[in-house]
């Protein structure tokens, strides 16, 4: 769960909107946690996913797969125990993963204490 929360904090730090973490342990046969967020542009979404991937390397894990859709309507990074979804807001509403996993538990994401070089407070 720690990496899922830190991934969500990273997305929040990158100004992604409506970031949530769902605990799907025992509900999903393929992962334990799903992180969902919305981006404001394709560039922001790709950059945010790169930052989550960098975070994964820092904590000693790695992505099994990362999507590379140039249109960036829906980007995904699969870290096996944690799957990160970044959506363009209309695509997020269309696919509505929150409703799909409505029987999961929402995990609280506290504000990040991580400081990135070059980011002004």
Q: What is the pLDDT of residues 55-92, one digit of tens each?
A: 999 999 999 998 867 677 899 999 999 999 999 999 99
Residue 12 pLDDT > 90: yes
Place of tokens 């829906």: 74
Euclidean distance between CA atoms 93 and 107, whole angstroms: 20
Give Cβ neighbours of residue 51 (< 8 Å, ≥ 6 apart): 10, 13, 14
Give the domain extent around 30: 2-107
Supply the pLDDT for residue 67. Answer: 84
116 in a structural domain = no
**CB-CB contact of 38 with 86 (8 Å):** yes
Classify the phi-psi angles of 49: left when phi > 0, otherwise alpha if psi is within -120 to 50, otherwise beta: alpha
Residue 97 pLDDT > 90: yes
Measured CA distances, 108 to 6, 8, 18, 47, 111 (Å): 11, 10, 12, 24, 10
Total-model pTM:
0.89
120 in a structural domain = no
113 in a structural domain = no
Model confidence at 42, in pLDDT bands (50, 70, 90)? Answer: confident
Supply the pLDDT for residue 1. Answer: 83
72 in a structural domain = yes
27 in a structural domain = yes
Mean pLDDT, the chain, whole residue set: 89
- Provide the CA 47 distance to its chain's centre, in angstroms: 12
112 in a structural domain = no
Domain total of the chain: 1
Percentage above 90 pLDDT, the chain? 76
Supply the pLDDT for residue 83. Answer: 97
Percentage above 70 pLDDT, the chain? 91
53 in a structural domain = yes
117 in a structural domain = no
CATH number at residue 79: 3.30.460.10
Euclidean distance between CA atoms 43 and 37, whole angstroms: 14
């Amino acid at each position: 769960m720690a990496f899922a929360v830190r991934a969500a904090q990273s997305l929040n730090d990158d100004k992604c909107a409506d970031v949530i973490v769902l605990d799907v342990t025992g509900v999903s046969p393929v992962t334990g946690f799903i992180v969902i967020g919305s981006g404001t542009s394709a560039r922001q979404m790709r950059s945010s996913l790169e930052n989550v991937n960098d975070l994964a390397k820092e904590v000693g894990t790695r992505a099994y797969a990362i999507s590379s859709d140039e249109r960036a309507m829906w980007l995904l990074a699969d870290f096996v125990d944690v799957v990160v979804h970044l959506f363009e807001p209309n695509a997020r509403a269309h696919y509505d993963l929150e409703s799909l996993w409505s029987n999961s538990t929402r995990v609280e994401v506290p504000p990040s204490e991580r400081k990135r070089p070059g980011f002004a407070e």
